[in-house]
A and B are shown apart, each in its own frame.
Chain A
Amino acid sequence: MLTRLCYCKAGLEVKIAKFCGGRGALNNIKSLNLSIDDSIIIQKNENYRSPVTIQSKGENILVGKELAAKIIVESETINDILLSSLRTGDLAEVKNVLAKGEIRRRLLDMGLIKGAILEVIRKAPLGDPIVVKLNGFDLSLRLNEAENIYVSLKSLSNSSSKSIFNKLKMLRK
């Protein structure tokens, strides 16, 4: 299944399927000497926040988090990730809610139970909280709270890049 490099945990061996993002991102990827169909092994991916260390062609490479999100890879296993690291537009399934006490109760009441399908639809102007769409309604929660929820990717966002500049580019064409 297709996933993002930034979602893959250490130890996985994946194949690069495609790149998304603007020209700048593509140039960066090129400079890392990565190309489509390359097999890479994830060495380190802590908290899904800091840069991802990958091994490609026998070399260890550090890939920034933003860039790692733009590298789409083919992977046999899909591991659980934190809801807080889910990218806008990707669809995921809730696997576990680790929160305790009141927060857990609230999250369960809102329908964040195992098996619920959700999508992060936007982030606040300052980056936190986020808005998650599930069961047909919009739920906002802080990244703090989202860090207590494990989800697994169901499908990637269908628009490869939602950046407004790309849309403008498309229009011009």
Chain B
Amino acid sequence: MSTWATIELLATQKTDNTWGFTVTTLTPEQRAQYWRRNRNLMIKLMMIWFLVSFVFGILLVDQLNMLRIGGYKLGFWFAQQGSIFVFIGLIFYYVSAMRRLDKEFGLDTE
């Protein structure tokens, strides 16, 4: 059976478990709120992501290069070292913030 036919069939069956995974019991408002908060968090973190790589590492590199840490010019350091460390920090911050959010909405399955 094609995917499309499966979808039509399942849609008519009005089951809550169309896609084969456990469906959460959140109300539509809660879902919207959860998604909004996740999205706002992502936007903030992606701004930092953009700042340390594209802005510090490329666009403002000449200005930052006037400052130094040890033998590194600062802009060069961001481009070849610093941005990567910040990326790691961003992912782990996101992991822990999402864990808190999941707990708040009773979604953590641990």
Does chain A bind chain B? no
Question: Which B residues fall within an 8 A CB radius of A?
Answer: none
Question: Which A residues fall within an 8 A CB radius of B?
Answer: none
